[in-house]
Every structure is written in structure tokens, then in C-alpha cells.
Amino acid sequence: MPLYTLGAGQVAAGVKSREFSAEEYIQQLLERIEKVEPKVNAFVTINKGAIEHARTIDKKIRDGEQAGPLAGVAVSIKDNICTKGIRTTCASRMLESFVPPYDATVVTRLQDAGAIVIGKANLDEFAMGSTTEFSRYGTTRNPWDISRVPGGSSGGSAASVAAQECAASLGSDAGGSVRCPASFCSVVGMKPTYGLISRYGLVSYANSLEQVGPIGRTVSDVVSVLNAIAGADENDHTTVGGKPVYTLQERKGLRVGLVREFIEDTDPAVAKMILRAMDTLEGQGCKCKETSLESVAYALASYYTIATAEASSNLARYDNVRYGFDMSPEGYEWNSYFAKARSSFGEEAKRRIITGSYVLSSGYYGKYYLKAQQARSLLKDELKALFKSCDVLIGPTMPILPFKIGEKIDDPLKMYLVDIDTVIANLAGMPAISVPAGFVDGLPVGLQLMADEFQEQTILDAAYLFEQAANVRGSPEL
Amino acid sequence: MMEQKMGLEIHCQVTGTKSKLFCKCRCDYRGKAPNANTCPTCLGLPGTLPLLNQKAVEFAGMTSIALGCKVPDEIAFYRKNYFYPDLPKNFQLTQYNAYDITSIGVEGGLEYGDGKSVRIRRVQLEEDPGRLVYDGGNMETSVYALIDYNRAGVPLVEIVTEPDFVDPKEIRLFLDKITSIVEHLGLCGTKLEGSVRCDANVSVGGGKRVEIKNVGSFADVEKAVRYEITRQKTMTSRDLEVRSETRHWDDARKVTKESRTKEEEQDYRYFPEPDIPTVVLGSEFVSSAQRSMPELPDARKVRFVKHGLSAHVAQVLINNKELADFFESAIKFYSSPKEIANWIVTDLMSFVDERQKEQERSMFAGLKVGPEHIADLAKLVDQDTINRATAKQILGLIVRPGEMPSQVAHKTHAGKIDDVSELAQTIDSVFETEHAAVQDATLNPNAINFLLGKVMQATKGRADPKAALEMIQKKLKEV
């Protein structure tokens, strides 16, 4: 079996037992990448230093030093997470030549655990989108059907894992950006509790909503990556708690709630798959029931108000003064220079900057932004109440199957609607995971599981239970 | 009657804390190479997050308490969004007062001068932007501007008053008091260039409000306000409309002028900074801040009065922390508070070089006299070693070179003549030259004063008059 097919746990075990070297493994991956990238386009940048890094890990192992739980494991990093010395573009012209002088905390922690950054994964510009079509570096294609979108905005991350171009990936999830592509690409993707993972070095899109999240081909790989990156960071005041350790465990008797509203407006084929997933869980000894979450009605409006408000301010710094792209200031005064430089944002980024500026403008702040925050607390309260009688809530990650590239790109509202089931976890700050549930006509369907704040272990237990029972396996032919 | 109303907006850098408001870079950026005092966070690089400096929060809290403000249990930071090249993130992290949210201090009040008072609208904590350096000195005459972010992120405490001032003189008195308070708190080294800045707003006869920005020194605020009152009154008397606008103080011409760039009504799109969790100050914050607060000017004045100083002298001292500290160190060398205070307030002050004082922002700019010198001087006078007139002359001699008064007195033989034989010799020579007067004095005791005067003249006042008189009387009997 080729080395590139191995999961994170297998790679670390193989490298540490010197069954194969990290260098051999990375070499095979780079060949794999060369072969499939023309079809998938998951990467913006390949890390030229990956082989060199692999050699240092091999040397450590030869010298009998600790190489870490992820020794040699190749990880792709969404290109909105800073990597020291490797350019970080956010798939935008605005950061075309930005080479961060520092590593994001999650990158440092992964490397401390022995992982190797194989490359920077494609995304929608500044993580704004659900398809990875809004990238300056071209659309990423779904490895299961390259005429279709991989989901987004962490489309490059999920596609690179699905296409076996790396063992695992880090994405970021502000409204479903890890789970949506995980679902569309039939891999496992998790959005942890707000505050569990450091955002230091994650280029902000919607600060109060987003978290870095791991993507892997199995729940086990997601646990390994999560263990490496989770825990409080002195560089991010929004992180809390100590350093948790998650395990893979069989747990029986979980109370599972299927959220009726998640099923109602969903593609019937997807809904059917989710109902079957509930049966599977029941077969594993879970106590399942149907339940309701009424404030779902406010979720999308609340999400897009808060996210665009924050984004409009976060993206203000891209004025091409301190970093950016080549554009001579000759003949401009600063105001017109800013305007000219900032016209280089893509369509979706511009749309969200304008929307966000509007909802924050004087006279509208109370009407939109504060209302959105009220809806957010309402939703959180309702979820908190639900979690008194349920350990996990389930539903489809995406209400539809992966669609054709270009199908929704001209209709922003239709595009926003596909986030209906994922934004809830971000608004509530609660953890959620997408695990492969099966295929409809060869297209992946993801099951989403949500739990109360900091109940990552519960989610992982349920996801692992489902994964073992459902046995949705396989890799796409590329 | 065209009544005017004025309010102030004062910015003090929190130089009392070592690091910037949201990163570990130092506050002390002065004299550093441009952009050397920066890090990814204060440059606003993508992916960086603000880390709140708790010490700055404590300073802002103490300022609020000192200005009689209410301090809420929780505070939050807000983004003020606007584009300007000196703002690394194109928003400023500041505080906000709306929707039941307040900054760290609100609704305070301060007494100043003699029984005057002003309401304090708010005290807030925010970050300083970077600095634009124009190649031609200012925006109008420059082809390009350079940006130095060394200052970006230095904590600022902003103090906003209600428009309670009616006389420009009050502004100066108030600013003196504010300066003294922030100096006493250790919040701000007001002598550092650009560490305190002040904007003013002026409206005349209930008319439109005009803001004056860019006033470089506290001393000029009064001038700027006076100019603006005259301008507005003149316009009104000519039936010209006073527009609501922001004007800039032209330091060279000492006038306010229209802003070159049209400043539209800016919409700052305030919203809470998501990266800084709400800071819970709690009920203990105020009481513990009060406990750890240094002595404030008002309390210090009371203590000075207990030392025997007059209220006026005590006030002059505490108006300027530098003077008050000088006084306190001097009385440690020699404990004669009243004498020392008078020497500082009436005599030493006359040597202050006003221009150098403004430039170097120190009362003692160019002077080398220290507390030990004044203590020594007071001691010489108290112990009758020299008389007051001599002491004043000596002060004039030592104030710049910084010599000890007692040494100068010794060197110049300025001390009183203790040596009986030296005094006797002088009296002998006076008796020889003033023959007629001696004759008079033997008959008329009142004429003795003439002889004493001559002796004093001959000794340039160094003779002890009492001793001299006794010796003259004795000698007259011998005649």
C-alpha cells in the first residue's frame, strides 16, 4: 500500500518504528500531489522545506530523541493561518506577497508534535464562501467529482485530505467552513468550542465566531490533531482552560436528539441518509428522539450580520501600505491610493465589506448588529436547554449534495442558504463535527453532531461510534 | 451678552506603564530609529491579536477615581473604524459610551482654582496611533509623508470635560491641575514631548460648536481658545454664520484655521472588539485602586499647610509636582518648611526661564540648583550666618553653576563678621574719618545711628548690627 494512503496514527507509528522514513513518506506525498493537483487544485503553495523538515525528524528518531505523537505526519494548513517564512495569501491579491514573520500558535504546536507542513491549502478569499470558488488561485475541485465544488471555505484543506495529498489538515470554521467541505469531500472535520483553540496567527474574518479546526480521514486522526493544538494560549485572550486530552472510547447509551428543523428544508435524499444515520446510532445503543430548535429561524440572518460586521472592520487593514502587492503610490494621495488598492478585493469579499459596513453604520447598529446579538443569545439559551436532555444533537451538515462549480456563484443568497445547519454551532460557540454518512449517487453526505460547550469528548465518542458502525470507507479515484 | 462655552478633550500617554496597550513593545519610543519599536501586533499584521495591558487599566481606573468618576463593574473595548495611514489596523481600539455601556470613568467632576469646578463627561482608555513625518514639515508643503509606527499602541487616557469653562483663564488653571494629578498618579510624564495633547471646543452665544485640534502644548490651549472666541464674535457681529467645524491650530501664526481636507461627519461604525473579552473589574477594583493610589495634589496641599505653609504657597507648590517634590526633598535636608517654601515660591521661581521651561518641560530647565542648595540657603539665614539680602545675592550666584551657598558665602566673605578685631578696626577707621559725627554722638544719642550706618556701609552689611552698636557705644564712652 502506498505511504500516502496512511492516516496520521499509522504514519507516526511507521516513522517512529523506522518501518519507513519520514523523508520517504514526504517524497511519496509530493509525487502524489504532483499527480493529482492538476485535477484537484487543493494547494496555493507547496512547502519547499518539507523534505528538509522530514530529514530532521528522521535524524531525531535515529538519535533516539522524542519525535512527538505526530512524528512525520504531513499536514496541510489553510492559507489563512500564518506560517513563518511561507507566504500566507488568504487566497487574496491583497496578501499576494505576504510572508508572515511568525507562526500561528496552532502551527507551532503541530510542529512541536512532530508534524510537517506540506503546503498551504486553498480557500475562499479570506475564508468568505462555501465553495472555494472565490479564490485568486483558482477553484478547488471536489475529489469525488471534479466538476463539483468541494465546499468551503476550507475546500483546499478537505480536498487535500480526501485526495490523499496529506494525512490531515487545519481549516478554520466561522460558519461551517471546516464542516461544509468535510461533508462534501467525505472526510471528518471538526469545529471545536470557541476558546478551545488559539486563533493567534489565524487571519481574522469573523473573530467572535471562528475557530481553527482539524480535518482527517478518520475520527482517530482528528483526535490526534486536536490533542496537539487544543488548549489555552497566552497569545489569545479568548482561549480558556488548560490543556485537554481527548481519547477514542466506546461509549454506550448516549442521548441523541435529531433536530426537526435541520431535516425539514433539506434535500430528501440527504434527509433520508440522516434518518438512516439515526437508526445506525440507535442500533449502537443510543437513545434517539426527535427534537426542535425554533430559533434556527434567526440563525442565518444573525450569522451574516455579525460575520460581515466583524469582517468589514478586520479587512480594513489591507490598504497595501505595510504589506500586500506591488502598486506604486506615485500620483495618489493616500485616500485615493487606499481606494485603488482595495478595489483588488474579490467580489465576495467586497460584498461582505459593504454589508458589514452598512449594518454597523450609525442608526443601523441597534437595528441590525444588536438585534443579531440578541438572536444569538436566544439561540444559545435554547441550545443550552436542549442539552439538558440530549448529549448530542444531530442533523445533516449540508442540506444539499455537492453542486456543480459555478452553479450558485451568481446568487449570493442561495449560496448563503447552504450554511443554515452549520452556523448554529458558531453562533452558540459550541463544538460540532461532520462525519461521512454515506453517498447518494456517488456524492458524499455528512452527518453533523453538536454538543454543549467543551463537550468535545462527547462529540468524539458519538462520532467514533457512528464511524465504526456506518463504515463509510473508500477514497476517490483520481 | 455673547456668553462663550468651552470644553476640553485631553489625551495623556500612560508612560507610567512599561509596555504598549496591546503588545509587549515598550512605551518609551522616543529617540528610537523609526519603526524599530514595533512588533507584528502593533503593526497590525494579519493574524495578530491584542493582549490587554492590565497595568494600563489600573492607571485609567485611578485617573477616573481621581476625577470623581463612576467606575463600572465591567469595561469593554470598541473599534472605532476610520482610514488613516497612521492607523495600522485602520481602526482604533478605544471605549464607547452608548447602549448602556460606559468607558472606565463617567460623570465625574473636579474642583480647581479657587472654588471653580468642571464636570468630567468621561475618562477612557485607548491606543495612540503612529506618527506621520512630513518631508516638508507639514501636509501642505510636502510631497510625501513617512510613517513611523513606534508610537502606535501606546496607551492613552482620554479625559473629556463638559463645556463648563466660560473664561479662557480657567482652562489654564484646570490644565495645571490635571497635569499635577496625572503627574502625582505616575500616569504620565507630562514633560515628555507629545505625552499630553489637548483639543478644545468653543461656542459663542449658544451658537455652533467649533473644535480646535492640533494644539501642541497646554500653554497654547488658552491662546487658541482666545483666538477662536474673538474670531467667532467678530463673525457674529458682522452677521457671518459660524459653521460647526474642526479647525486646526497653526502654531507658527498662532491662529486657528480651516482644515484643508474636508472633514465630513464621520461614521466610526463602533462595535465591540471581539478579541478582548469583557474586563470584569468587580466591586473590589475601586477600593483596591484607592488603597494603592499615591497621594493626590489636594491631600498633599492639606499636608503642606500642616507644615505651616500658607494656603497660597502650598497651592503654588502642588500645582507643579516638580516643585512640590523639590520642596519635600529640601525639607529632608533641613527642616524649615516655611522658610524653604518661601525661598522656592518667591525667589527660586524668578529664575525660571519660561522659554526653556516650555521647551524642556521642566521648571528647572537650565538651572542647576537642587533641594540641598535651597535647604543650605535657608539654614544660613535661619542661623543668622548671612542676612536675607546677602542670601538673595548668593542664590543669584549659585542658581546656574549649582554651588553650595555656604561655600559661596565663605569664599566671598559674605558671612557676618564674627571677628571682633576685624569689626573693631572698621569702627576705628570710621571714627577717624567721621570726626564731627563722633562729636555729635557723644552729645546726642540719636546721632549714633549715623555712625552705625557708616560701619554697615563699610562692611557691605556683613557686620552684625547689634554687636557693632555695642562696640560703638563702648568706644564713644572712651572718647
- Residue A212 near chain B (CB below 8 Å): no
Ranges A363-372, A450-459, B140-149, B388-397: which has the least confidence: B388-397
Residue with the bigger pLDDT between B207 and A193: it is A193
Residue B416, pLDDT score:
64
Residues B279 and B301 in one domain: no
Residues B334 and B435 in one domain: no
Dihedral class, residue B153 (left if φ above 0, else alpha if ψ from -120 to 50, else beta): left
Q: Which of A86, A314, A337, A426 to mutate to test the interface with B (most CBs of B within 10 A)?
A: A314
Q: Which residues pair with B81 in a beta bridge?
A: B91
Residue B412, pLDDT score:
66
User: B291 vs chain A: nearest CA distance in angstroms?
Assistant: 28
Residues B280 and B348 in one domain: no
In angstroms, the Cα distances linking A445 to A144, A166, A220, B462 are 12, 22, 20, 109
In the listed set B253, B287, B321, which residue is the last one of a domain according to the structure? B287
Asked if B289 and B276 count as a contact pair (C-beta separation under 8 A), the reply is no
In angstroms, the Cα distances linking A323 to A88, A326, B81 are 12, 9, 20
Residues B401 and B471 in one domain: no
Residues B338 and B380 in one domain: yes
Nearest CA in chain A to B274: A208
- Residue B270 near chain A (CB below 8 Å): yes
User: B161 vs chain A: nearest CA distance in angstroms?
Assistant: 24
A116-121 vs A74-78, strand pairing mode: parallel
Ranges A145-159, A206-220, A260-274, B420-434: which has the least confidence: B420-434
Give the pLDDT band of residue A148 (cuts 50, 70, 90): very high
Residues B272 and B319 in one domain: no
User: A192 vs chain B: nearest CA distance in angstroms?
Assistant: 17
- Interior/surface letters B269-280, b for 16+ CB within 10 angstroms, e for the rest: bbbbbbbbeebe
Rounded to two decimals, what is the model's pTM?
Answer: 0.88
- Find the length of chain B: 479
Residue B283, pLDDT score:
82
In angstroms, the Cα distances linking B2 to A397, A457, B166, B245 are 70, 73, 11, 20
Asked if A150 and A121 count as a contact pair (C-beta separation under 8 A), the reply is no
Asked if B34 and B148 count as a contact pair (C-beta separation under 8 A), the reply is yes
Task: Determine which helix (DSSP H) or strand (DSSP E) holds A104, and give its type and residue range.
Answer: none
Using a CB-CB distance cutoff of 8 angstroms, which residues of chain B are in contact with residue A235? Answer: 49, 51
Asked if B144 and B76 count as a contact pair (C-beta separation under 8 A), the reply is no
Of A82, A104, A238, the CB nearest to B275: A238
User: B79 vs chain A: nearest CA distance in angstroms?
Assistant: 8
Residue B2, pLDDT score:
62
d(CA A204, CA B49): 9
Q: Mean of the pLDDT values across residues A402-414? A: 91
Residue B361, pLDDT score:
66
Asked if A450 and A424 count as a contact pair (C-beta separation under 8 A), the reply is yes
Nearest CA in chain B to A209: B274
User: A421 vs chain B: nearest CA distance in angstroms?
Assistant: 23
Q: Which of B83, B269, B270, B279 to mutate to test the interface with A (most CBs of A within 10 A)?
A: B269
Pick the CATH number of A3-252 from 3.90.1300.10, 3.30.70.990, 1.10.30.50, 3.30.1700.10: 3.90.1300.10
Q: Which of B90, B97, B264, B266 to mutate to test the interface with A (most CBs of A within 10 A)?
A: B90
- Residue A87 near chain B (CB below 8 Å): no
Q: Which residues pair with B250 in a beta bridge?
A: B255
Residues B252 and B382 in one domain: no
Using a CB-CB distance cutoff of 8 angstroms, which residues of chain B are in contact with residue A309? Answer: 271
- Check CB contact under 8 Å for B47 and A203: yes
**Full residue range of the structural domain in which residue B425 is found:** 420-478
Active-site position among A154, A172, A177, A198: A177
B369, three cell numbers: 540648583
In the listed set B411, B435, B455, which residue is the last one of a domain according to the structure? B411
Active-site position among A153, A224, A312, A434: A153
Residue B414, pLDDT score:
58
**Torsions phi, psi for B306 (to 5 deg):** -65, -25
d(CA B77, CA B52): 10
- Residue B142 near chain A (CB below 8 Å): no
Respond yes or no: is residue A224 known to be catalytic. Answer: no
Q: Around Cβ B250, how many Cβ atoms within 10 Å?
A: 14
* Weakly modelled stretches of chain B, pLDDT under 70: 1-2, 260-265, 356-361, 394-395, 397, 401-402, 408-419, 461, 479
DSSP B311-361: HHHHHHHHTSHHHHHHHHHHHHHS--HHHHHHIIIIIGGGG--HHHHHHHT
DSSP A330-372: TT--HHHHHHHHHTTS-HHHHHHHHHHHHHHSTTTIIIIIIHH
d(CA A353, CA A349): 6
For chain A, the domains span 3-252, 296-374
Q: What is the number of CB-based contacts under 8 A between chain A and chain B?
A: 99
Residue B245, pLDDT score:
82
Using a CB-CB distance cutoff of 8 angstroms, which residues of chain B are in contact with residue A310? Answer: 271, 274
CATH code of the domain in which B439 resides? 1.10.10
Residue B358, pLDDT score:
64
- Residue A315 near chain B (CB below 8 Å): no
- Residue B401 near chain A (CB below 8 Å): no
Of B90, B270, B275, the CB nearest to A207: B275
Residues B424 and B406 in one domain: no
A418, three cell numbers: 447552504
Residue B305, classed as helix, strand or coil, is: helix
Residue with the bigger pLDDT between B188 and A92: it is A92
Residues B69 and B127 in one domain: yes
- Check CB contact under 8 Å for B81 and A317: no
Structure ipTM: 0.93
- Residue B353 near chain A (CB below 8 Å): no
Respond yes or no: is residue A130 known to be catalytic. Answer: no
Residues B186 and B245 in one domain: yes
Residues B280 and B300 in one domain: no
- Check CB contact under 8 Å for A360 and B275: no
- Check CB contact under 8 Å for A317 and B90: yes
In the listed set B270, B287, B304, which residue is the last one of a domain according to the structure? B287
Q: How many domains does chain B have?
A: 3
Residues B230 and B331 in one domain: no
- Check CB contact under 8 Å for A208 and B83: no
